[in-house]
Amino acid sequence: MIATWRYVLLGALAASGRTVCEGTFLVLNQYYGDYITVAVFIFMGAALVGGAIGMNRMIAPRAPGGLKDVAYESGIEPVGSGWNQSHIRYYIFALLFLIFDVEAVFIFPWALQLEFFDSIGRGYFALVEMFVFIGILLLGLIYAIRKGVLEWE
């Protein structure tokens, strides 16, 4: 279909007396070809997920009952409610862990390339840049300590 329209457009341009540049149509075909590739991947991903859900509904046993509604199904009867509310300080510790974990992700490649930066005369700049990065994170940590967020009561 694309090839047919390509020849129709080329024929129309040639009949009009304009210069025909076939490379433009080749680039245009590659442009739409990229979108077709993305569309095929999206379709295949949706088909895979839909197929897995459909197979689960066809194969899975249907046994509704009172025990299916229990919040904890490990053979032990639950005592009290199955819902538990976590304190906000757990989330703050998790957030601080993530921040400093991501910091490590940035520091390791920088440390591996520090010698390269030094060889091109940018060693001190890279060193100062990393100290600024760590300093900004330390300012956030000092702020959290002063606010008393890290104190466990």
**Among candidate residues 97, 102, 89, the one with its CA nearest the CA of residue 149:** 89
9/4 Cα distance (integer angstroms): 9
32/6 Cα distance (integer angstroms): 13
**Domain limits of the chain?**
2-59, 88-146
Beta strands in 65-119 (DSSP E): none
What is the model's pTM?
Answer: 0.45
Residue-by-residue DSSP string for 137-148: HHHHHHHHHHTT
pLDDT in tens, 5-47: 444 444 544 455 444 455 555 555 667 777 888 899 999 999 9
